[in-house]
Structure 1
Amino acid sequence: MEVRYERVAGLDIGKATLTVCVRTPGPRGRRAETRTFSTMTRSLQVMRDWLLERGVTIAAMESTSTYWKGAFYCLEEVMEVWLVNAAHIKAISRRKTDVKDAEWIVQLLECGLLRPSFVPPPDIRRLRMLTRYRVQLMGDRTREITRLELMLEDASVKLSSVAASLTSVSARAMLGALISGEDDPRVLAELAKGKMRRKIPALTEALTGHFDAGHAQLARSMLARITAVEAALAELNSVIAAAFQPWAHQLELLQTIPGVGEKVAQVIIAETGADMTRFPTPEHLASWAGVSPGTRESAGKRYPVRPPHGNKWLTAMLVEAAGSVGRMKGANYLAAQHTRLSSRRGRARAQMAVGHSILVSAYWMLTRDQPYQDLGPEWLARRNDEAHARRLVAQLEKLGHTVVLDPAA
């Protein structure tokens, strides 16, 4: 095949070592050199100097776990680096060794048969680390609250059946008293505050159980961990708010979309980089994120398939935003779309479709630097009525009639 890149390198990366194959022009055709390096920082610098000495202008590597990051960051300042999808490389069955993998990568690269994945610039990567760590901390808090609820069920304490949350002020006061040794349900129920005091009779029944010293020890540990995670989240949120100051205008624009709050807007910017020129069309962005419809066609027939794999962090936040829109009950275009699709295709598909619409809107808003403009809740119904009228007119004309529509006053 035609060689499109003269001086190229292919990297097969593992946790401890990486194998590099360099292909350059030689007196007798293409020449290949292969070397193996440690993944430690100094060895990566030696590898970089060797590639520069060989005149390499472009390097490609598989996206192997997170091991690719060290080599990618080391090389991106001095040459063009491609991170490629491993599925695109492993499509052909062959013998498997590190050296052969590196040789195969560089051969595909020099012939232009690889496509680079999107890797954001360093400032956006720092935002990604912060927002993704926040999601992980929120997951830790949710899991610990679930453990606490299961432990209370073991003690026949049904507090979660009455209280909206085990982390509310009233619930924490009752749990603290339980841990301290108070076992009178009436005394515990009297610790309720605010609107929870209406539920004192139900709380008295719910707090009647066999909460012993073993349960108290576990509850103390779980509550301490929940408190520590919440403190870490509060600190992280302040760090994230400061880190997003350069993108304050983009955040303001994105929050004009129904269902998109500050956290969702931050994730959209952190995952996409807020630079829509990286994606040729909104369809490319939706496919990369994993919210575009899956397609499978054979012999002229289309079959339903799941959406493609994409950016799970962005997809999760878009679906969460779509869930918020679904609770708006027809207040805007997105809410009407959610209601319309939920009745026909189910809530999960409706949320994915609304998430797709949110992302497409974000694409055009960031491209044009414009706030969200809502089409209105009646837009879908109005479009459907017009299409229905056109179908009826076409049927009548097919039967030989001339149709003149006179709208009712």
Structure 2
Amino acid sequence: MVSQSREDAALARSQKKIIAACYYAFLVNGFLSLMMGSVLPMLREQYSLPYQISGSLLSAHSVGNLISSFAAGTLPVYMGRKNAIMLLCLGGVLGYFLMTATGNPIFLLLAFFLIGITRGGITNLNNTVVSDLSGGKSSALNFLHAVFAVGAFLCPFAAMIFTSRFENGWKYAAVFVSVLCAFIILFFGASPLDNQPRLKKENRKFSYAFLKDKTFVISTGLLFFYLCTESCVNGLLVTYFADSGIVSPSYAQGLLSLLWLVIMLGRLTVAALSEKLGKRRILIATCFGAALFYVLLMLSRTALSVTVCLVGFGYCLAGIYPTTIANVSQYTSAYPMAMGTITTIAGLGSITMPVVAGAVADRTNIWGGMALVTVAVVLMTGCAISNYFLKREKASST
């Protein structure tokens, strides 16, 4: 009995070390995601990049993120989880260092692609590890994503510190994130995470019957337009505010942090109201609110109005992604390929929209590029309306 209790205690300690490494990785993932948008205006100015190239950099990041979603599921089968996480995290180390070394568009595209690889690897593998170790407890996973929001909230402040104190401070900020990524590799390397290759695969019969269901198709469209919107807002918002002259660059960085704080509060609100209101009501309300506040944001010309509209937009936008995933939970639980299908198709939105918005900005101005996002927001709202009435139709027919 004594030896058994000691073994249990040792197992608990080892699991805590692994979970601590996962939480640290998600904290850094928040920095990884937001630092790109924070340094992009300075990077574009330093290397004299057109808006279309800036949008292409964000798309390259999204491509890396998308590819990493598949790699994170495949690599552990052949090389174990620890090696897989360490390998994928190398992208962030190399990517942020590379963007400070050269202004060559090809190498910059590679840098943003590598950062996307790391971001997707951290998200997918750490979700799996924490879920397994906690027995699928939602509290552990919720805290994991809360840590991400903390990193995203702190990132613009870190960028402001470096850019205000150093010449070419954006390069110091990028190197700082590169070092944070290096510590992920060290922490997981020292952790007791299982590193045995998972070579035995389950023989499962895959089906794509869910593609025939209208609810799944509409939800996929909703998520596609959501990611069109989110990728442009996260990646080009600081550039828009800085280049339009509505607010100062430092104020714009603060707005980005405020956006993530509001998103965190919005997600908590949606979580509290989800059982009372239901998914379809939440989706239609949040999409309508996001569309309204985004239109007002594009029409705003003062610091106060921009701040108010951004808070409203972020608060409404916050719960759309998780609620949409919950809206198709019956398909993702029944069909092994459903989750990968919806995230892959929706992920194409985050790849294509920044390029299109950047091209429009080059031909008009940055306001024109960001105003184009209004189309995506309106189409997202249209999908929410279709989902609402489709669910009512199904309910009345049963």
What TM-score, normalized by structure 1, do the two folds share? Answer: 0.27
Q: Which one has more relative contact order, counting CA pairs under 8 Å at least 6 apart?
A: 2
Bigger Cα Rg: 1
Bigger strand fraction: 1
What TM-score, normalized by structure 2, do the two folds share? Answer: 0.28
Bigger helix fraction: 2
